Structure 1
Amino acid sequence: MDSSTLRVIKRLTLIATLFALVVIALGAYTRLVHAGLGCPDWPTCYGHLWAPDSVSEISSANIAFPDAPVNLDKTWPEMTHRYLASSLGLLCLIIFLLGFKVKKTVSKFPFRHTVALLILVIIQGLFGMWTVTLKLWPQVVTLHLLGGFSTFGLLLLLHLRLTQPIKPVKETMIPKIRLLAFSVLVILFGQIMLGGWTSSNYAAMACLELPLCSMAQLSSQDFVQGFNLLQQIGPNYLGGQLDGGARIAIHAMHRFGALAVLLLSLMLITTLYQNRYVKLALALATMLIIQLLLGLSNVYFGLPLYNAVAHNIGGALLLATMIVINFRLYQQRKKRA
């Protein structure tokens, strides 16, 4: 019985991981079409479970929310994102409950991992609420994005822990590779945070030159305002509240972060390849090239919607690649121990 339950958990973690990627993509789409406040209340939408659609319902909603008239082009992305995210939370709850069922009978079942995952999705739900009630306050929007990527990463890691066997190891270079791989993972997560901060402050188009911003723009950077974590709560942050200099500073830092990820990743790719981790090296190189091209295309083509969504998906897949690499190296450390 427990073995069949464990098989169900393994399948659910895979489904939930893929589902989390869809939620990340839809969240990016919702931000990019400025639909984050498509429904000004939470958890309902103008008091409805979906959105007002009849003439009388829309008229009543506009009277109830005079500062946020109904725009059906923005209500559907917001509510679809809410319901899909809630469904993902339900999946994580089911995984937790099934894990609780088998934790005493399945050897080394990572139950604490399922606890952490459940706590994270609960926090994500709160951030989803605050995103609306605090009117897209950049700090909350950025943390909500990071929470989404973290949920995706934890689900992937849980699936790996449940399904991947320990493999033999070439011992000589593992400690150095492991340290470098973990460093890339940390820097990448920081870069994702910068990407979230860039998006939540609407700074993606602050600099249109490649590969660097113009000297005039760089000289006008305002890092104090750009990275002010105490922005006032209350204003509507749809479209952003920062001036041009602050947005340029944010955008420039995101580019420098990308450069740091690129350089460290190239070092890791070389080291992996030299130590016969060819598949891992090729996977990382492929994702790195795709993500770099998507980022450059965002600037060159003026932030086209589906390219920008793909850039978010690419960030998640690059994170997944680094999680797999670190997991493989960690497995081998456990084997030697």
Structure 2
Amino acid sequence: MKYGKWFVRVNWITLVFIFLVVIAGSFVRITGSGMGCPDWPKCFGQWVPPTNGDNLPENYKGIYSEKRAKKVEKFSNMLSAIGLEESAEKIRNDKSILYEQDFNARKTWTEYVNRLFGFLAGNGVLLVFLWIIAKYRQRKLVVIATVNLIFLLFQAWFGSIVVATNLVPWTITVHLLFALIIIGLQLYIIRLVAPSQQRNIKVSKSFYALVFFVFVVVFAQMFLGTQVREEIDHLTKAGIGREGWAENLGMIFFIHRSSSWLVLILMAVMFWISRKTKDLRIIHWAFVMLAIELLSGVILNHFNVPGLVQTAHLLFACILFGILMMATFRLKTREIA
């Protein structure tokens, strides 16, 4: 089936917005702006947040703390219902969750811009879903678009939980992992509808296995990266400043850092095998993204984890993840005579 140019463009634009949400979320985190809006989906009860605290009631901290307490209790009960009693009790007993920050216009608007990107990405996913239902109705597309929309709605709801629990570290990790799933589903839709992505690339079984293995390792690396970020959160709460992060990070950081060299070696092998094959430029781009990603990792390790480099590190990791996922979609094994 041939798909319209604008339909294909909307899918690519939606993918860009999803990436922007991930990057904006990282920027929110490194600037400490995650609680810039204490409620969700509105910000201080408004669709356009205030620019100064004079527009807020005197007891606004108490108001939002009380609302948060109710939402946290509901979420804790849900965790208990699915067998996560230990996590539920930790959240119930963590009184810092109910702490309200002073109003800060910069942090409020940083978080608000993050939500605007989320709004645009969400509407893009919804538009793609409605477009498919109204015009194309191809079974596989309908299923993938429906699943993507469901995940997006869950992600939006879980975003409210992240806010309600005052950025409990593991909730932020889950939030990022679901974002990667949404990216993967959107890439698969693009694979099905974009002419540039529909042509298969024939490779040997061993090369495909290598690409798939690297993709799995990169995904695991991203998960380990979120665990490292959680460790940084714990160090920050313990009063350890940025200059002491690198030397106080534990085994997870060591594994994350060491595994990156395994990925580099495997990607170098992939690049060498594919260096003269034009059809495998997707592998060349993956190698370039990995090189930049490793450079940013070295800077993080040796220069006390500068904030903007953290965001760049996540950006290139997500791009590398996307390229390798698209490669697993397009590469097909060929029989060797």
Q: Which band: TM-score by shorter chain?
A: 0.7 to 0.9
Give the deviation of 1:84 after TM superposition: 1.5
Q: Does 1:95 align with 2:128?
A: yes
Give the deviation of 1:128 after TM superposition: 0.8
Aligned equivalent of 1:150: 181
Aligned equivalent of 1:265: 267
Mind listing any 5+ residue stretches in structure 2 that lack a counterpart? 65-98
With the length of structure 2 as denominator, give the TM-score of the two structures.
0.77
- Give the SS at the match of 1:36: coil
Q: Residue type matched to 2:54 in 1?
A: S
Aligned equivalent of 2:43: 45
- Which of 115, 137, 144 pairs up with 2:168? 137
Q: Does 1:190 align with 2:220?
A: yes
What is the rounded CA distance, in whole Å, between the counterparts of 1:267 and 1:100 in structure 2?
43
- Which of 243, 248, 251 pairs up with 2:250? 248
Partners of 1:291 and 1:314 within 8 A in 2: yes
Partners of 1:197 and 1:250 within 8 A in 2: yes
* Structure 1 residues 157 and 27, CA gap change in structure 2 (3 angstroms): same
Give the deviation of 1:85 after TM superposition: 0.6
- Give the SS at the match of 2:36: coil
Aligned equivalent of 2:146: 115
* Structure 1 residues 36 and 57, CA gap change in structure 2 (3 angstroms): same
Aligned equivalent of 2:289: 287
Give the deviation of 1:88 after TM superposition: 0.9
- Give the SS at the match of 1:299: helix
Q: Does 1:24 align with 2:54?
A: no
What is the rounded CA distance, in whole Å, between the counterparts of 1:153 and 1:57 in structure 2?
42
What is the rounded CA distance, in whole Å, between the counterparts of 1:169 and 1:253 in structure 2?
33
Give the deviation of 1:114 after TM superposition: 0.8
Aligned equivalent of 2:93: none
Give the deviation of 1:55 after TM superposition: 4.6
> Whose helix fraction is larger, Structure 1's or Structure 2's?
2
Partners of 2:17 and 2:120 within 8 A in 1: no
Give the deviation of 1:62 after TM superposition: 4.5
What is the rounded CA distance, in whole Å, between the counterparts of 1:99 and 1:318 in structure 2?
28
Mean alpha-carbon deviation: is it higher for 273-282 or for 258-267?
Answer: 273-282
Give the deviation of 1:277 after TM superposition: 5.0
Deviation per CA, 1:174-199: give whole Å up to 9, x if none. 22122211111111111111112222
- Which of 180, 191, 202 pairs up with 2:232? 202
- Give the SS at the match of 2:39: coil
Aligned equivalent of 2:68: none
CA RMSD in angstroms comes to 3.0
* Structure 1 residues 8 and 240, CA gap change in structure 2 (3 angstroms): farther
Report how many residues are paired.
295
- Give the SS at the match of 1:69: coil
Q: Does 1:303 align with 2:279?
A: no
Q: Residue type matched to 2:178 in 1?
A: G
What is the rounded CA distance, in whole Å, between the counterparts of 2:173 and 2:272 in structure 1?
32
Give the deviation of 1:311 after TM superposition: 1.0
Partners of 1:135 and 1:238 within 8 A in 2: no
Q: Residue type matched to 1:272 in 2?
A: S
Partners of 1:38 and 1:78 within 8 A in 2: yes
Give the deviation of 1:165 after TM superposition: 5.9
Aligned equivalent of 1:234: none
Mean alpha-carbon deviation: is it higher for 286-295 or for 155-164?
Answer: 155-164
What is the rounded CA distance, in whole Å, between the counterparts of 1:264 and 1:190 in structure 2?
15
What is the rounded CA distance, in whole Å, between the counterparts of 2:219 and 2:275 in structure 1?
23
- Which of 8, 23, 27 pairs up with 1:10? 8
Deviation per CA, 1:57-106: give whole Å up to 9, x if none. 245335645732111121111121122212211110111111112344x6
Give the deviation of 1:3 after TM superposition: 6.2
Mind listing any 5+ residue stretches in structure 1 that lack a counterpart? 204-236
* Structure 1 residues 284 and 69, CA gap change in structure 2 (3 angstroms): same
Give the deviation of 1:289 after TM superposition: 0.8
What is the rounded CA distance, in whole Å, between the counterparts of 2:125 and 2:170 in structure 1?
25
